[in-house]
Structure formats: C-alpha cells, structure tokens
Amino acid sequence: MTDLRGGIDLGGTKIQTVVVDSDGSLRGEARQPTPTSGGPPDVARAMEDALREAASAAGAKPEELTGVGVGSPGDADGKTGVVGGARNLPGWEGSFPLAETLAKALGTEVRIGNDVQVAVEGEYALGAGRGHDSLLGVWWGTGVGGGIVLGGKPWLGRGAAGEIGHTVVKRNGARCPCGRRGCLEAYAGRAAMEARAHRERQEGVETEIFKIMEKRGRDRLTSSVWEHALREGDALTESLLRRAVRYLGTGIASACNLLDVEAIVLGGGLGVRFGDRFMDHLTTEMHKHLFVDDNPPSMQVAELGDLGGAIGASLLIT
Ligand SMILES: [Zn+2]
C-alpha cells in the first residue's frame, strides 16, 4: 500500500474530502452538504461518510490511510483535537472532541487545524503561494478568514492570528456575525452579504437573486447563486459584490501596511469564483490605502480551487 493521506475541509455549506498520495496528488475525492440541523455528532457522521467515499474512490479503506487531517472552522485546537464555537455549523456553540470522534469512527489518526490556515499552507506548499517567503491568504466565503506565512513559517500568533475578517474597516460600522461592529466580514462575508440582500429587497430594491436561488433548489445564497445572478446582470448582486471587494481592498491594504508580505492569495468560495473577475477592482481599492505603493505584493487567486482546503488539511499528516 502506498502512503495515502486523507483531508477533510469542513465548511459552512459543504464537507469536501480528498485522499492524496505522498506527493499531494489527488487519488480520490467526495463531498457532502454540511448538515443544516442537528449538532456536532451529525456533522462528524457526515464527515465520516464523505471520507469513506473518497477513500473508496482511491481504492483504500479509511483504516489503511496514514492519517486524516481536518481543516475546521471555529476554535480548532490542534493539540487536543477539540473544536469549539463553530458558529457556522449547526448546534456547535460548545466544544466537541472532533479528532477523537473521527479517529474512532475511521480507525486512523486524525489531526485538526484551522480551516483557513491549512488551506493557506496548502497554497504555500503546492499552489499559488509557491516560491514566496511570506504571504497573506484571504479566504472570502461564508465568512472572511485569513492565514499568514512569514519567513517561510506559518504565523499562528498564540493560536488566533490571521483573522483579517475581524479587522475593523469602519468604526461603529455594520454589525458583524461575530457580534462586534465594523469588521471586514460584516461587509464582505457571504452571510453578511446575504443578510444585506434580504434587507434591500424588503426595502423595495428589485433583484432576481432570490428567484435564482429558488430555481437552483437552494435555501441560501451560495457562491454559485451569486455567480449566476451576476451572470444574469442582476444589479443588486453586482453592487453588493463590488462593495465587498472595496472593503476587502481596505482590509488587505491595512494588513500589508503592517506585515509587508510578498504575496496575497485570494481563496474561499467567493474568492475562487470571483477572484479573476474582480482582481483589478480589488487592486485599485487596495492601492488607495497602501502606505508604500511602489512595490505592491503579488496578487494571486488560490490555485488548488475547491479542493484546496481538503488538500491543505491532508498536509497536517506527515
Ligand atoms: Zn467580526
């Protein structure tokens, strides 16, 4: 049996799993929607099912894998394998021993990391961040997450670094899903954008985006719904996306003024979908706030795409 590793990206809307070999090459993958009700044990079961499917696509059983890495939202403790306060997941306000539960179910070692940080490290090792000594990953999706590599090493701070989504872009500004005001995520996170779209519709703004959502059988404005609405020329969709990008530019520029990284990698569900289309707008908005603007960082869209989070998570297993 060759050395196969599993990776699971636990997201707010879907659970993506992969099985990769020792070079990081893909051998199998599977995905499931994230349960929208229940609690952590239900989410863990869906993760187990999806990983089993990916292993079977790779011709392996889960217990034959060297191990499985998990990129998790919330407060993911790599040492204890416990995940707490994952507010994008159903019933997950408290703590849950995710690594232990999955290790028992799958019969192999399971390691946990922060979802965005592992995805950024995946891009650093195998994707858009290759060859750079320092980078800031900005993961634009349900929320706005971040990950930092400095001097070739992940910078985790004391465990809570990289939360660019909760840097303040407007004092006393919009209410953020985290409960504070004026965070970048309150303007650019998909959840906050969806709430804003609902409000604007209630105030009488014409939009097709909710009809497109229903037509596509969704109950949330997923990134694919945003993409279809944009393609159909929906004005509210375009204006909310451009507004999000304006704030992303502000937040990223402030981070660059502080860290002076070589590269920005834009990932996440919205980042991967809209990164190329809005990169010029993002760069223009960012430049307005760069203190030293004659040597800007290189701007990249994440290359590992939808599988990047799960592939990055697999790197937790060495
Ligand atoms: Zn916040």
Q: What is the pLDDT of residue 85?
A: 87
For ligand 1, a single-atom ion, the residues with CB < 5 A are 166, 176, 178, 180, 183
Distance 170 CA to ligand 1 centre (A): 11
Distance 188 CA to ligand 1 centre (A): 11
Task: Look up the pTM and report it.
Answer: 0.87
Q: What is the pLDDT of residue 74?
A: 86
The rounded distance, in Å, linking the Cα atoms of 46 and 12 is 13
Q: Is-contact 22 3, C-beta < 8 A?
A: yes
Sign of CA dihedral 138, 90, 77, 311: negative
Distance 273 CA to ligand 1 centre (A): 23
Q: Is-contact 196 213, C-beta < 8 A?
A: no
Distance 303 CA to ligand 1 centre (A): 27
Segments of the chain scoring below 70 in pLDDT = 1
Measure the N-to-C terminal CA separation of the chain; round to a whole number of Å: 16
The rounded distance, in Å, linking the Cα atoms of 181 and 29 is 39
Q: What is the pLDDT of residue 87?
A: 80
Q: What is the pLDDT of residue 1?
A: 53
Distance 166 CA to ligand 1 centre (A): 4
28-51 residues labelled b (16+ CB within 10 A) or e (exposed): bbbbbebbeeeebebbbbbbbebb
Q: What is the pLDDT of residue 106?
A: 98
pLDDT (tens digit per residue) in 93-132: 899 999 999 999 999 999 999 999 999 999 999 999 999 9
Distance 26 CA to ligand 1 centre (A): 35
Q: What is the pLDDT of residue 318?
A: 82
